[in-house]
Amino acid sequence: MRALVFDGGLRLVSDYATPLKRPGESLIRVKLAGICNTDIEIAKGYMGYTGVLGHEFVGVVEETDSPHLLGKRVVGEINLSCGQCDLCNSGLRNHCPNRSVLGIMNHPGAMADLCVLPDVNLHPVPENLPDDAAVFCEPVAAAFEILAQVPIESGQTTVVLGDGKLGLLVAQVLRTTGADVLLIGRHPDKLRLAEGWFIRTVPSEDSWKAKQVDVVVDCTGSTEGFALALDLVRPRGVIVVKTTVADRFFINLAPLVINEITVVGSRCGPFEPALKSLSDGSVKVAEMVTGIFPMEQALEAFEVASRAGSLKVIIRM
């Protein structure tokens, strides 16, 4: 089958081995796969991963032991847990120490004609949700994880740092709570997009530093984002870190201690509210598609996705 592989370099191959479905798993024919910043960072050495890339997808189940999934369009949670350890039994399967992660750690990804995931990871896509919106489910779920981790109420002040793909999604999800949401970014076209969704914005060069924000979410994808979050958050406020980068960086811990700041790392999230929000339009994604490329142009798609200013780039199988 065709697959986009990283093994020290990015290669499109046509003869990659078809994944084998084991009991309790489904074989999925991928229709669309989204390129995430994490994929771009993996191609720079993040996580030390080699293999088929891709963890954002929508596809059709071709083989399964679960009749209710056969022939269905699905999206899939990316963490494959053991289901037996203490963390799995306590409901923290995304943190299973024995887990593999689709296209990120020890499990071939979705930028291929076919991929395999456990049946329990799969979620049928609502009929009214088109493929090019359903492919956003995984990052929208990651945005909803913030609400599962941090109580955010109507009227609270929240700032999202970074107007890239995830920042735009996080700002929309936070807005569903009734919170006062401000998006800080450096791309006028992306800020205008957010303003069209009735989200307040400020250009990053304006150096908006109020020191009174209840919750700051770092979606910058850069090593500078956390320092800016420290400049904005109020004493006893919360910083949510969504940024993953291959580069190492250093921070001054003193402000965290002096101001008693809570720092929350935030990763994967619940698919149910993500699918609902995409289906009912409370989270909008159509305007975020920079381009859809056929699989034969996957390397070009990665190049476009890596450009400053690009939003979501999608590969069509």
CATH number of the domain encompassing residue 196: 3.40.50.720
Mean pLDDT, the chain, rounded, equals: 93
pLDDT tens per residue, range 285-305: 999 999 999 999 999 999 999
Helix axis angle for 165-175 and 137-149, nearest 10°, is 50
How far is it, in rounded angstroms, from Cα 80 to Cα 95? 10
Closest C-alpha to 199, from 219, 176, 217, 216: 176
What is the average pLDDT across 190-206?
Answer: 90
DSSP secondary structure letter of residue 189: H
State how many domains the chain has.
2
pTM across the whole model: 0.93
* 112 and 162 belong to one structural domain: no
Residue 234: inside a domain: yes
Q: Which residues span the domain enclosing 222?
A: 142-265
Helix spans in 85-244 (H): 86-89, 131-134, 137-149, 165-175, 188-196, 225-232
Q: b/e per residue, 139-158, with b = 16+ CB within 10 A?
A: bbbbbbbbbeebebeeebbb
At residue 286, the pLDDT reads 96
Residue 184 has pLDDT above 90, yes or no: yes
* 120 and 57 belong to one structural domain: yes
pLDDT tens per residue, range 55-79: 999 999 999 999 999 999 999 999 9
Residue 166: inside a domain: yes
When pLDDT is cut at 50, 70 and 90, the band that residue 205 belongs to is: low
Rg (CA), the chain: 19
